[in-house]
Structures are given as structure tokens and as C-alpha cells.
Homo-oligomer: A and B are copies of this chain.
Amino acid sequence: MITVGVVGATGYTGVELLRILVQHPEVTIQMVTSRSEAGTAVSAIFPNLREHLQLNFCNPDPDLLAECDLVFFATPHGAAMALVPELLAKGVKVIDLSADFRIKDAKLWSHWYGIEHTCPELLTEAVYGLPEMNRELIKTASLIANPGCYPTAVQLGFIPLLKNKLVDPGSLIADVKSGVSGAGRKAGMGTLLCEVSENFKAYAINGHRHQPEIVQGLNAQSDKPVNLTFMPHLVPMIRGIQASLYASLSTDGVDLQSLYEDFYRDEIFVDVLEAGTSPETRSVRGSNMCRLAIVQPEDSNKVVVLVVEDNLVKGAAGQAVQNMNIMYGFNESLGLDIVSVLP
């Protein structure tokens, strides 16, 4: 049994983390922080937790947080890096669901996030928490940089091809689509129901912050640097990411279906579908599963990988708990054995 704190839990990533943690048999939630809602009952903001969590939000006091074994940050970027050094110094482990420790190059990070990094010395120590790639490092990590939602889907889809040198690394295209919860829970006009429902569009067409994170991850698995065209789209639904990934095959005659099945055979949260089927986002809604399928169009040297995940689970809170399970030696699926609600 470990005690955990959740910093910045008024967002969608935060409430999703709480949903999973309240049902986790090895976890006691000790504190849930929010500056704006300090003093309010968590269940007043999130009525789904009424019967499950009897805590009020409190201010993120580092001394109190230091009483936890593990602290999750579900904050906007910039908040975690202000507290993490002190917590680590006090022996607390940290899983950061924000972007603060995902990119190893502090300058590149600043370019995309528009502020200086205040603890670049931790960037090498931080372990990028994609268990399918970094499980061994995660086991002993003190600081986990939990991957972004798009990066999780795109990396899990492309890596088997890159690692096996089957595609031209300069030919990668990721046409990705996300439900609106990816934009977070904050007042704004852009994600009002009346603005985004019955509507579909590409967004961030001049550059998206997840692109350098993905490229960094793909380069780590490729012998040559990749060139990635990355185009995100907004889907009029709450949850779910679907990625259609395109690449030019550099070799012929490889049975890609078998290759993917073998590659992910031991991964409990990656499900390779039968040939000819297409994964749908609702099949993973609320679950930590990532499902994918491989398509080879006729008379073409292209391969298409279709990937789905729940952006708030495998793309955020679920993966964070998966990382926690690995760090503490729990069964990797503990608390994550969730059946998606369908329909």
C-alpha cells in the first residue's frame, strides 16, 4: 500500500486519474490539490466520485506533498518543474503527466512551450514513461515523464516498422484525430459544444507541441533520423484518439501482421487486431488498451497502421498508473483491468 498525492486534479486528466486510483487496491489517495478549488469537496466538482472519494481539494504545499510516497502532476506545463526538484530531494517519487520532462533538449522544449525550463538538470534523469519501450528504466526511476496522448499512439504504431528497418524514415505521415477532452477542462470558446459538435477540422496546422516529442521517440528507435508530417484533427466526441499512420515500405515480402503480433505479444495493453479489421475508439473508452491494425493497400508500396487509444487513459492517466505499477513492482495491470463501457 502506497500513499499518493495528485497535484492539479481539476482537469480531465486529473479526474480520470482519481477514477482509476480510487479503485486501485494498493493505493491510498492522501491529498488532491487545486489552488482554485482549495476547500471544495472533490465530489462537488466531479459527481461521479461522490461515493468513492471523501477528500477536499487543498493547496499544493510541498511539505504536505512530501508525506506521500508518490506524487502525480496533472497540471498545465510549467507547474510540475516548479515543485519536482524539492519533492525529489525529499525522496518522493514523481510521475508528471504534463509536458515538463518529456523532451530531453531544454532549448527545444522552450521553443515549443514558450518558457524557460527551470530544472534542465533533471531532463536526463527523467525516464520517458512509455512502458513498451522503457520498462526496465521505469522500474528504478524516481521521475517519470508520462508521454503525451498523440505521442503514445503514434510511437506504438510506427516503432515496429522503424525498429525493423522496414520503412523509409523520411516518409512518415501521421494523420491523427482526437476527441475534445484532449483540449482540457478550461473555460474557452474554442471547445464549446456549439463550436465543435457537428464540426470537423484540422487544427494546429502550423505546428503541434507533440511533434518534437514524437520525433524524439521515433529517432530513438530508428537508425536514420525520421521526417514526420503530423496533422492533428478535432473530432466531435469527448474521448478517444485515432491515428492513421502512413509510411513507404523500403522492403518487400515481409508479413507485417505477424511482425506486429510478435512485437507486441507480451504487451498486455497493446492489442493487435486481426487482419482486415479496423480499431474503433469506443472499444477502448475508459480502458488502458491501445488497439492497432495493419493495412497494406493493393498495388502500393505504402503501409498504413491504424491505432486507437483513450487519450485520457493510455494517453494519460492510465499509462501513469501503469508506470506506477511498474515502479512499485505491482502487477502491471493492477487497477487497470477495466472493461470499456459500450455503447
Partner of A205, one of B193, B229, B278: B278
- Is A56 in the interface zone, CB < 8 Å from B? no
Which residues of B lie under 8 Å from residue A207 when comparing CB positions?
Answer: 298
Asked whether A198 and B244 contact (CB < 8 A) given A189-B187, A192-B185, A341-B286, the answer is no
- Is A47 in the interface zone, CB < 8 Å from B? yes
- Is A206 in the interface zone, CB < 8 Å from B? yes
Which residues of B lie under 8 Å from residue A175 when comparing CB positions?
Answer: 175, 231, 244, 246
Assess whether B198 is in contact with A51, with CB atoms less than 8 Å apart: no
Q: How far is the CA of A302 from the CA of B279 in the complex (A)?
A: 27
Interface residues of A in 292-336 (CB under 8 A from B): 293, 295, 297-300, 302, 304, 306, 308
- Is A188 in the interface zone, CB < 8 Å from B? yes
- Is A93 in the interface zone, CB < 8 Å from B? no
Partner of A193, one of B193, B246, B287: B193
Assess whether A19 is in contact with B342, with CB atoms less than 8 Å apart: yes
- Binary interface encoding of chain A residues 191-203 relative to chain B, with 1 for a CB under 8 A from any of its CBs, else 0: 1111111111111
Assess whether B180 is in contact with A194, with CB atoms less than 8 Å apart: yes
Size category of the binding interface on chain A? 35 or more
Q: How far is the CA of A195 from the CA of B193 in the complex (A)?
A: 8
Output the residue of A188, A236, A299 with the most chain B CB within 10 A.
Answer: A236
- Is A15 in the interface zone, CB < 8 Å from B? yes
Asked whether A282 and B246 contact (CB < 8 A) given A12-B343, A19-B339, A342-B15, the answer is no
Assess whether B236 is in contact with A237, with CB atoms less than 8 Å apart: yes
Partner of A48, one of B235, B238, B287: B287
Interface residues of A in 199-249 (CB under 8 A from B): 199-203, 205-207, 227, 229-231, 233, 235-240, 242, 244, 246
Which residues of B lie under 8 Å from residue A206 when comparing CB positions?
Answer: 276, 295
What is the chain B residue whose CB lies nearest that of A343?
B194
Assess whether B199 is in contact with A189, with CB atoms less than 8 Å apart: no
What is the chain B residue whose CB lies nearest that of A182?
B194
Q: How far is the CA of A198 from the CA of B283 in the complex (A)?
A: 11
- Is A104 in the interface zone, CB < 8 Å from B? no
For the complex with contacts A201-B278, A238-B343, 18 further pairs of A-B residues with Cβ separation under 8 Å are A47-B283, A51-B289, A179-B200, A180-B193, A180-B194, A181-B194, A185-B194, A187-B188, A192-B192, A193-B236, A195-B343, A198-B240, A199-B240, A200-B237, A230-B297, A231-B304, A236-B237, A286-B286
